[in-house]
């Protein structure tokens, strides 16, 4: 496995992006890994490494680049996270994800016809947004909040009204114990995607809370994480190949 950090130009200035490549030669499928609300931290870099070990090139753009490079915020003090989190908008997320997708497609290690997205927390929201408004081969969203309802003091706006524009198969993974994404929201997402006849799977990990797949968080629940990753790799193999 090879790792590096590169810098991309965006409409809002330079953006760093952590990259992990698999060992095999030739052009491989790729995934843009969309961070949680805490930055491109050790967990997100480990997600990139996990994907690279499975044969995918992984690219993690820094969504907080407008605040500076290398923003890494604590899991145990959300008061320190909010000033960065509230700067995010649907348009800024889309700008950054599209720049990352373009960077991935231009990479000599990547098969440009097989590039998808996978996101966690606010990155899950962004992965849903990318399925609606970006050119992606596949999308995977872990516990993406704010898809159904607007949230107080947050600039991100709900996505459910634009599901007709989705063009990529979408895997959505939620935690059954996630207090921030109630079952009614999951049901609403399921109904909207089904009514629009979009290729999708929704998986709920009954014992998982918000952030259950992050082993750096108190919410980590290994059985839920293991099952979610099993489903994820099955989904990626089916729709992105290897």
From 210, 214, 221, 239, the catalytic residue = 210
The number of residues in the chain equals: 242
Measured distance between the N- and C-terminal CA atoms of the chain, rounded to whole angstroms? 16
Question: Ramachandran region of residue 143, left (φ > 0), alpha (ψ -120 to 50) or beta?
Answer: left
Buried b (16+ CB within 10 A) or exposed e, 189-227: beebbeeeebebbbbbbeebbbbbbbeebebbbeebbeb
Output b/e per residue, 28-54; b: 16+ Cβ within 10 A: bbbbbbbbbbbbbbebbbebbbbbbeb
- Closest of 74, 69, 30 to residue 236, by C-alpha: 30
Q: Is 210 a catalytic residue?
A: yes
Residue-wise burial string across 86-124, b where 16 or more C-beta atoms lie within 10 A, e elsewhere: eebebebbbbbbbbbbbbbeebebbbeebbbbbbbbbbb
Q: Which residues contact 217 (CB under 8 A, 6 or more apart)?
A: 43, 75, 211
Please indicate whether residue 109 is annotated as part of the active site. no
Give catalytic status of residue 23 as yes or no. Answer: no
Give me the catalytic one of 43, 65, 107, 121: 121
Active-site residues: which are they?
Answer: 121, 178, 210
């Amino acid at each position: 496995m090879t790792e590096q950090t590169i810098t991309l130009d965006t409409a809002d200035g330079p953006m760093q992006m952590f990259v992990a490549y698999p060992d095999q030669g030739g052009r491989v499928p790729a995934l843009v890994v969309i961070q949680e609300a805490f930055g491109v931290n050790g967990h997100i870099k480990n997600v990139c490494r996990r994907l690279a070990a499975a044969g995918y090139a992984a690219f993690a753009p820094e969504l907080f680049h407008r605040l500076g490079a290398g923003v890494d915020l604590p899991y145990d003090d959300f008061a320190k996270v909010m000033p960065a989190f509230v700067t995010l908008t649907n348009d800024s997320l889309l700008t950054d994800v599209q720049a990352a997708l373009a960077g991935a497609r231009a990479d000599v290690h990547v098969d440009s016809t097989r590039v998808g997205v996978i996101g966690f927390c606010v990155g899950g929201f962004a992965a849903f947004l990318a399925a609606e408004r970006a050119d992606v081969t596949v999308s995977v969203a872990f516990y993406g909040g704010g898809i159904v309802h607007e949230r107080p003091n947050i600039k991100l706006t709900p996505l459910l009204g634009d599901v007709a524009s989705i063009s990529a198969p979408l895997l959505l993974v939620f935690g059954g114990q996630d207090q921030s994404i109630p079952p009614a929201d999951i049901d609403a997402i399921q109904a909207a995607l089904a009514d629009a006849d979009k290729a999708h799977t929704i998986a709920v990990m009954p014992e998982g809370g918000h952030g259950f797949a992050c082993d750096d968080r108190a919410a980590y629940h290994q059985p839920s994480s293991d099952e979610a990753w099993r489903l994820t790799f099955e989904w990626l193999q089916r729709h992105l190949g290897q």
